[in-house]
Structure 1
């Protein structure tokens, strides 16, 4: 049997991370603790998480992981940092286009050490937008990836029109692939409910879940429209009205909620953490580890409903990986390999 196939389509960034005892006020200059330059981007982070999650041992990779995206041509940070980190995590970079008309995306991240490692992020899209603005061109880069009974992972850091077009393609039953969609960040214009139709996994954090409520707003009762829905109230709306099979909502230190269209639901507690250092890639780690477990199941050809028996184990494992991530500095480099946890 061919190894499980995972294709991550999304952003690649260079992260400039400043650690500070607190965030400066408007007009204030504050002496920070340190600066780190690292590989990042939600797409690349999730690809690395998928790759590292597939290494049960140092020399044994259990899934084939590919990254589709765009960077600026000749970018020294891509050659010296991003690409080596991806490839060193077991991720194929053949689908990454180097664009002569744009710069590599970047993120400026402020990590507030005085607030338990909480972060604030400024994102400059660069090639993530200008190099990913045509659906057909993006799909052409996936032609050599065997996605029949494979998994596609997507986020919200490439153009909305491209994202919606790709969702329509991969959610088509004729495509025989399974889409995991993490609406991070949630587009200002939102995600229309029909675009979610047939999505295998919708993964959100608490903030994203609140924003995604707009997708199902027409189905809310009057009392729900004026309140923040609990996970167990929100998930059924996506099951019933968008035919999303699995809904995941991460809850930070409280753990994660999971729900399936066939009735399996519950909360998986977070793993114990000695000290939170940096939460930057925790959500991406969770998505990547869950995606890898899901891809292994999908590769068996079993009916999707049968994953109900495995979902809690997959969520708990993803929680453990995320807990390992937050105890290290940085984004991509903080994601653990499976043999480390």
Structure 2
């Protein structure tokens, strides 16, 4: 075991979330009186960074994995100083690589239905699609001399940037955890996926991604075909060489599959009440990525990840804890609270 902490770097989006809670969503042309409005830190990249950071705290003062974030925000944005930066740093995330841009910070307008916790989200990319986030060489140069063990990527930064980063890191020793959410309308070509260590998708995304690597439209109506995880996952092993495929199935749990032939399903976790599902998927991604980083620190190959079921179970339990609280980053649990 190395005495140096394993390092995870999350490259992705940072948003300010404007969350409106309502008894139900309004119909077209309808005005409703909502219950509340809150402003909080978010963005899939930021959420996943917080999840990585919080899952690395073995106690309130001890962090066994180093976590850093690469992203962009609006220059002198008061929300960054008052919300985003403290949320990240208080979760053990290094923010020194976050660039301040001339473009406004990205934002998300989220409507959450009280009856079931389901959400509808509108995202304005802002700085997430400008400056450094459009320049892969600028991103990779910040990591010179400190190549991470694990890089986490999502779909809320420019498509070209994401594809180039996938191809860059998949040719190096760094292991890539890729969560294609949302799936780019143009899809993700097979060439960009080749060598990806972990691919994490939900029920909708796995169908879209399977169609994408076959060169088919990701938003075609036929993509609503019945999901069979045991049939979907092998496509990514066989056609793209992905080492681990995880398919989250909501309340039904998680299906996992490895290139070496290990498969299984982790049951869903029943909770008293679903309050807000906003960051549940990001929580799962962050917790699993941290488990991967810890395993790699043992010096073993990811092909021998014999504790994968336990890692999936813990990530799933963290996501279940997350949905019982309002908000994104603030709803993600610390690992020491999961015991």
Q: Does 1:130 align with 2:127?
A: no
SS at match of 2:230: helix
State the distance in 2 between where 1:253 and 1:9 align. Answer: 28
Matches for 1:27-42 after TM superposition, within 5 Å: 27-42=29-44
Match of 1:263 among 261, 278, 282: 261
TM-score, with structure 2 as normaliser: 0.95
In the alignment, which residue of structure 1 is the partner of 2:59? Answer: 57
Match of 1:235 among 222, 233, 236: 233
* Change over 3 Å in CA distance of 1:124–1:144 after alignment to 2: farther
State the distance in 2 between where 1:145 and 1:333 align. Answer: 29
Shift of 1:272: 2.5
Shift of 1:227: 3.6
In the alignment, which residue of structure 1 is the partner of 2:118? Answer: 118
In the alignment, which residue of structure 2 is the partner of 1:157? Answer: 156
* Change over 3 Å in CA distance of 1:261–1:113 after alignment to 2: same
SS at match of 2:236: helix
* Change over 3 Å in CA distance of 1:36–1:218 after alignment to 2: closer
Matches for 1:1-341 after TM superposition, within 5 Å: 1-99=3-101, 101-114=102-115, 116-131=116-131, 132-147=133-148, 150-172=149-171, 175-217=172-214, 227-307=225-305, 309-341=306-338
Which runs of 5 or more residues in structure 1 are unaligned?
none
User: Once the two structures are superposed, what CA deviation does each residue of 1:127-159 show, in whole Å capped at 9, x if it has no partner?
Assistant: 000131111111122225332xx0000000000
Shift of 1:304: 1.7
State the distance in 2 between where 1:181 and 1:319 align. Answer: 17
State the distance in 1 between where 2:147 and 2:192 align. Answer: 23
TM-score, with structure 1 as normaliser: 0.94
* Change over 3 Å in CA distance of 1:227–1:122 after alignment to 2: closer
Contact 2:8 2:65 in 1 (8 A): yes
Shift of 1:213: 1.6
Contact 1:51 1:65 in 2 (8 A): yes
State the distance in 2 between where 1:112 and 1:182 align. Answer: 25
SS at match of 2:147: coil
Which runs of 5 or more residues in structure 2 are unaligned?
217-221
Shift of 1:225: 8.5
State the distance in 2 between where 1:190 and 1:146 align. Answer: 28
State the distance in 2 between where 1:303 and 1:94 align. Answer: 30
Shift of 1:214: 1.3
* Change over 3 Å in CA distance of 1:226–1:44 after alignment to 2: closer
Shift of 1:203: 0.3
Shift of 1:271: 2.0
State how many pairs are aligned: 330
Shift of 1:218: 6.3
- CA root-mean-square deviation: 1.4
State the distance in 2 between where 1:283 and 1:144 align. Answer: 31
State the distance in 2 between where 1:233 and 1:193 align. Answer: 18
User: Once the two structures are superposed, what CA deviation does each residue of 1:277-318 show, in whole Å capped at 9, x if it has no partner?
Assistant: 0000000000000000010011222022110x1100000000
State the distance in 1 between where 2:25 and 2:225 align. Answer: 31
